[in-house]
A and B are shown apart, each in its own frame.
Chain A
Amino acid sequence: MSGREVVKSNSQLVQKEMISRNYDRITDGNHKVSSTFVPGNLNELLMCFDIANNLPEINAIQNAMRKKSGDMITEAERAGHSEDVCTYVKADIGMMAKGNIAPNGKPFPNPDILLLSYTGCFTFMKWFELLREQYKCPTVMLHVPYAADGTPTRNMRDYIVRQLKEDVIPALEKVSGVRFDIDRLREYLRKSAAAEDDMVWMLESTKHRPSPIDCYFGGVYYMGPIFTAFRGTDEAIEYYRLLRLEIQERIDKGLCAQTPEGDMPEERYRLVVEGPPNWTSFRDFWHMFYESGAVVVASSYTKVGGIYDYEGFRHDPDHPLETMADYCLGVYTNRSLPTRVDMLARNIREYDADGLLINSIKSCNSFSAGQLVMMREIERITGKPAAFIETDLVDPRYFSAANVKNRLESYFQMIDQKRRLGGSSAAGV
């Protein structure tokens, strides 16, 4: 697969350049650097202190896509980390042991602060406790309560705001030497909201038949700027404006989803996918969908860094700290299982999907625990068939291409059978 030439759109090239630029900023030695996580990523706040935003999950993904993560994980396991735990953590720890080199080839600096946004994932807490052992740098915790009842409460929101005021902002001021300016934050949040509008337009463009984009494999690229270090910037506004134009053009031309192989010739299956992708065989995995004419019209992974297409959330510059609290409370893995079920069932209906595919990730209990129950519940609600495959995030030992392919082929046959029985119309018809 890797030998074939990859077709990239203009927006993908821009996105790639943006991510590279952020690595240059992190490694240039001229900026204070924070490490933090994608869910609950307070990029606008970090920008208020001129702090560069380094995201260990993104580093692990980059290493996996470059086929480097396997050795890093082995390295961490040799140092005493269990085979049973999150491979993002082990890839990160293994990367340090192997020289801590960023994707741009320069060494990562030690972070000046670990911003532990404890949002929707228990492992985050242990991950940064482990990093703190290595870096011995200041670590500030932002505990985001779990929205177990479906709707976050006022108490949860107030708690987050209080932590921001009392702990997080003072810690960032101390590390950066920059005084907090709430108007500066408001300005960034205003830019966030502008980009978010176009980003949601992109997510909803897949309601078209054929879908102009893939919202899982392709979605990873499209979400890149807003989930990482660019939310709140002019660059993000410009990126999503460009992406919108590009997608509109595809819609006007009636093109099927764009893939690394070029435009998908025919859209045969429309799927909603739950769970993160596998990164070590990302392109092979995508190719399996391409071969079968399957396009992902909605996915939970495009909600992992914030949900903008469910309850209409946008960052609100008039309530800067409160809106960051709402954002953190709302990320996908911080939502209850019934809410996740509702979200995915709505996606299946509103995007006229043929069914649900769950990619269950060995490493990630936050996503995976309960997915079998979710699957049955979504099948019950929608009457659409669902399928279940198992892979991992960045551990190549847990991607079995033959097994995944078999399951996918069986699933597509199941959809065909359902169509013959009148349960679901063929995509593109």
Chain B
Amino acid sequence: MEARTVKEIVAFCQGLFDDLDFTRAREWKAAVPGRKVIGYMPVYVPREIIHAAGMLPLGILGGGADMEVIHGDAYYQSYICRIPRSTVELAVTGRLDFVDGMLFPSICDVIRNLSGIWRILFKEKYVRYFDAPQNFREDVGGVFYSNELREFREGLEKLAGRRIADAEINASIEVYNENRLWVNRVYDFRADFPWKAPSAEVYLLMRAGMVLPPEEHTLLMREYLSAAGAQDRPMRDNCRVVLTGVFCEQPPLNLIKSLEISGCYIVDDDFLLVCRWLLEDVQADGDPIENLSRAFLLHSAQTAAKYEADMEVKGRYLIDAIRRRRADGVIFAAPSFCDPALLDQPMMISRLDALKIPYITMQYAENSGQMQPIREQSGTFADSIKLWSSS
């Protein structure tokens, strides 16, 4: 088969992104009787265990910019962020009727309580609030987390009607190690050649990983890197920024495009952290539960939803990303009413101030429509960096 062009690959990803009926996941399920699909919300769940159960992990990130929320607003007050209401909208309109279970990670009180809403509205479905430790000692938080993972595994076994063997989880760990390797290669490629891998494309490529089986997603990323590497594109006189705060409710695709159009190459971000949560390969032999637990405790990303026990270390993850990616500045983009992002922001800003790293802040909702103010703000930011930055 002839290799696809970048345009064709991106069009394929865009099709997956636009499809709020999740046709691709429905087809995957229908292809083999008995298959199950498990939805999960941001930031992190160990997809390896779902995959090992022969199930499809399906990332649920709200309804996006174009879905009209009709029912969802009746479930939430105006001062609560948009992702839960559009997620409820997806569910009550039948778009998630094929999803056999939902996971709600411990990211904030809104997503936490959404797990309860699911239990009330969809009593027949498997629902799990996926709690992760805020204590990162192996003998304390590690013991708790390993037991939580075992409970999670047992829940999936019950749903699958079969045992999930250690060897199966180890095989899935290898699949996801490979997937993360290529995710990181895409991110490295974008940081090195941002004009060849626009962030809207990279974003769509990663979003495809929310719907596709990981093996397929890995192949897609390889294909993209090969096509993007071979294609000449004009290099703009953009500054390089890290985009942060976008780890849960997603901004509209137009916002990502607007940032780049206005002069900011995004060279790192915290979109879809589930793809890059674990910072090193997980050991793929021995006790897989203990290995996944250790990877979470010792080698996972830092984000606002995670406690940082050492004040001196707070913010280091962001600073390291700025340095590693040779970024000129930071754009803090937080969803309106997002407690984790907005409460964390002043602390992050103080770290940047201390190092004289330029930044701007903005708020959005997944259905924000007006991009002109965003373009003006980020365009001015880019200009100021180019004119005044010492770097």
Question: Chain A interface (Cβ within 8 Å of chain B)?
Answer: 79-82, 84-86, 89, 116, 118, 121-123, 125-127, 129-130, 132-133, 136, 139, 141, 143, 145-146, 148-149, 153, 155-156, 158-159, 162-163, 166-167, 336-338, 340-341, 360, 362, 365-366, 368-373, 377, 390
A146 and B314 form a contact (CB under 8 A): no
B278 to chain A, nearest CB (A): 20
Contacts A130-B343, A156-B144, A373-B75 given; 5 further ones with Cβ under 8 A?
A82-B334, A121-B109, A122-B339, A123-B109, A143-B135
Contacts of A82 in B (CB 8 A): 334, 342-343, 345, 363
Contacts of B326 in A (CB 8 A): none
Is B131 close to A, CB under 8 A? yes
Which B residues, 311 to 349, have Cβ-Cβ distances below 8 Å to chain A?
311, 314, 334, 336-340, 342-347, 349
Which chain A residue shows the least CB distance to B337? A84
A126 and B339 form a contact (CB under 8 A): yes
A365 to chain B, nearest CB (A): 4
Contacts of B343 in A (CB 8 A): 82, 85-86, 89, 123, 126-127, 130
9 intermolecular pairs with C-beta atoms under 8 Å apart = A125-B134, A126-B304, A129-B347, A156-B144, A162-B139, A167-B137, A337-B117, A368-B77, A370-B116
A163 and B106 form a contact (CB under 8 A): no
Q: Which of B109, B139, B349 contacts A369 (CB 8 A)?
A: B109
Which B residues, 122 to 175, have Cβ-Cβ distances below 8 Å to chain A?
128-129, 131, 133-135, 137, 139-141, 143-144, 147-148, 151
1/0 per residue, CB under 8 A from A, across B98-134: the answer is 0000000010111011111101110000001101011
Contacts of B388 in A (CB 8 A): none
A133 and B347 form a contact (CB under 8 A): yes
Contacts of A125 in B (CB 8 A): 134, 307
Which chain A residue shows the least CB distance to B131? A145
A142 to chain B, nearest CB (A): 9
Contacts of B143 in A (CB 8 A): 158-159, 162
Number of contacts between A and B (CB, 8 Å)?
A: 163
A80 and B349 form a contact (CB under 8 A): yes
Given contacts A82-B342, A85-B339, A373-B117, contact A162 B140 (CB under 8 A): yes
B84 and A369 form a contact (CB under 8 A): yes
A74 to B121, CA, bound (A): 39
Chief secondary structure at chain B's binding surface? helix
A399 to B317, CA, bound (A): 40
Given contacts A82-B345, A159-B140, A360-B77, contact A365 B134 (CB under 8 A): no
Q: Which of A81, A141, A143, A148 contacts B115 (CB 8 A)?
A: A148
A122 and B108 form a contact (CB under 8 A): yes
Which chain A residue shows the least CB distance to B311? A132
Is B308 close to A, CB under 8 A? yes
A365 and B116 form a contact (CB under 8 A): no
A262 to B256, CA, bound (A): 60
A233 to B42, CA, bound (A): 44
Contacts of A336 in B (CB 8 A): 115-116, 119, 129
B386 to chain A, nearest CB (A): 25
Given contacts A130-B347, A360-B77, contact A148 B339 (CB under 8 A): no
Contacts of A121 in B (CB 8 A): 109
The size class of the interface chain B forms with chain A is 35 or more
Is B372 close to A, CB under 8 A? no
Contacts of B389 in A (CB 8 A): none
Which B residues, 291 to 318, have Cβ-Cβ distances below 8 Å to chain A?
304-305, 307-309, 311, 314
Is B93 close to A, CB under 8 A? no
A158 to B305, CA, bound (A): 23
B308 to chain A, nearest CB (A): 7
A369 and B76 form a contact (CB under 8 A): yes
Which chain A residue shows the least CB distance to B130? A148
Counting chain A CB atoms within 10 Å of each CB, which of B79, B113, B128, B129 scores highest?
A: B113
B25 to chain A, nearest CB (A): 25
Q: Which of B115, B131, B133, B139 contacts A166 (CB 8 A)?
A: B139
A146 and B112 form a contact (CB under 8 A): yes
Closest 5 CB pairs of A and B: A337-B116, A148-B129, A126-B343, A159-B144, A143-B134
A325 to chain B, nearest CB (A): 12
A89 to B342, CA, bound (A): 12
Given contacts A126-B340, A369-B113, contact A141 B144 (CB under 8 A): no
Q: Which of B77, B151, B342 contacts A85 (CB 8 A)?
A: B342
Given contacts A337-B117, A373-B120, contact A141 B307 (CB under 8 A): yes
Contacts of B347 in A (CB 8 A): 129-130, 133
A181 to B97, CA, bound (A): 56
A231 to B361, CA, bound (A): 44
Contacts of A360 in B (CB 8 A): 77
Contacts of A130 in B (CB 8 A): 343, 346-347
Contacts of A153 in B (CB 8 A): 151
Q: Which of B106, B147, B342, B350 contacts A146 (CB 8 A)?
A: B106
A373 to B77, CA, bound (A): 11
B121 and A373 form a contact (CB under 8 A): yes
1/0 per residue, CB under 8 A from A, across B78-90: the answer is 0110001000000
Contacts of B342 in A (CB 8 A): 81-82, 84-85
Given contacts A81-B346, A133-B350, A372-B76, contact A123 B120 (CB under 8 A): no
Contacts of B106 in A (CB 8 A): 146
A125 to B113, CA, bound (A): 17
Contacts of A372 in B (CB 8 A): 74-77
Which chain B residue shows the least CB distance to A128? B307
B307 and A143 form a contact (CB under 8 A): yes
Contacts of A126 in B (CB 8 A): 304, 339-340, 343-344
A362 and B79 form a contact (CB under 8 A): yes
A290 to B209, CA, bound (A): 58
1/0 per residue, CB under 8 A from A, across B344-358: the answer is 111101100000000
